Amino acid sequence: MRALAILSTLGLFACQDYTLRDPPTVPVAPPPDDPGDENGQPPDWNDCFQGFLGEYSNLAINNPYVEPDPLVQEEVFDITTLDWWDQPSFQDFNSNLDFGSNWWPVDEGLEGDPAYFTVRWLAWIRAWDDVNMEFSLGAANDVWILIDNEVVFSQQGTRDFDPQLHNLYLDGGQYPIEIRYAHRMGSNGFRFRVTSEQGPPNGVSLCYAEYDDGSTAE
């Protein structure tokens, strides 16, 4: 009887079609954030144009952050929460960021122009070896420096345009660099200039990014 039961079972399986299926495909992990989306791709360091892509935005006179009350302690801003650079008025390629003290780049004829504006500069920086980079920075209002999408320097509030030397340690490598500036009141002026050794083997280089079509600024 047992043998008959086994044969019956085998006959049951023989009458049905079975397909061996591959195991389900494991989804590919999402890629890390690619700074190339907005910062462009690293340039050809042997043949690149030095400078930054600037995105210039207007701040309306009724913006709650312009002309802060000097008697009230100013807020220390978290740059990730600010929308001051979200609607640029125009773009420009800047071969250097040494604009001096009488610099009013955004004037669209709006009330309050050209007093209130923001700029976001994008480029790539390469440290040819581990380096303690020296740079001169002067900013009459708020400024942030981001390297590899991390804030590495900030100077907030209003002050006189008075460039000072600073130092920033960089591991050897290439990184997107972003500088953000906001002019919200008072006198103006901006300078960012690397003053340490330039280029290989021990210095740093700053270049326009490569973009999706492979072009750079000229």
d(CA 25, CA 18): 20
Indicate whether 10 belongs to any domain.
no
Range of the domain at 87: 47-67+78-207
Between CA 121 and CA 94 the distance in angstroms is 9
Q: What is the pLDDT of residues 33-86, one digit of tens each?
A: 344 456 788 999 988 999 999 999 999 999 999 998 877 777 889 998 999 999
Alpha carbon distance 98, 153 (integer Å): 18
> Rounded distance, CA 36 to CA 204, Å?
20
Cβ(117)–Cβ(172) under 8 Å?
Answer: no
> Is residue 165 one of the residues assigned to a domain?
yes
DSSP-derived secondary structure for 62-92: T-TTSS--TTSPPP---GGG--TTSS-SEEE
Q: What percentage of the chain reaches a pLDDT higher than 70?
A: 79
- Judge whether 191 and 136 are in contact, CB under 8 Å: yes
Q: Is residue 56 part of a domain?
A: yes
Prediction pTM value:
0.79
- Residue 19's pLDDT band (boundaries 50, 70, 90)? very low
Q: If you count them, how many residues does the chain have?
A: 218
CATH number at residue 137: 2.60.120.260
Report yes or no on 91 lying in a domain. Answer: yes
Q: Does residue 125 sit within a domain?
A: yes
Q: How many domains does the chain have?
A: 1
Side-chain-facing half-sphere of 144: CA atoms under 13 Å: 20
Domain contains 113? yes
C-alpha–C-alpha distance, residues 209 and 216, integer Å = 6
Cα gap 45→174, rounded to integer Å? 10
- Is the residue at 161 inside a domain? yes
Q: What are phi and psi of 101, to 5 degrees?
A: -100, -10
Q: What integer pLDDT is reported at residue 9 of this predicted model?
A: 41
Question: Considering the domain boundaries, does residue 9 fall inside one?
Answer: no
Across 22-26, 114-118, 148-152, least confident range:
22-26
Q: How far apart, in whole angstroms, are the C-alpha atoms of residue 60 and residue 116?
A: 7
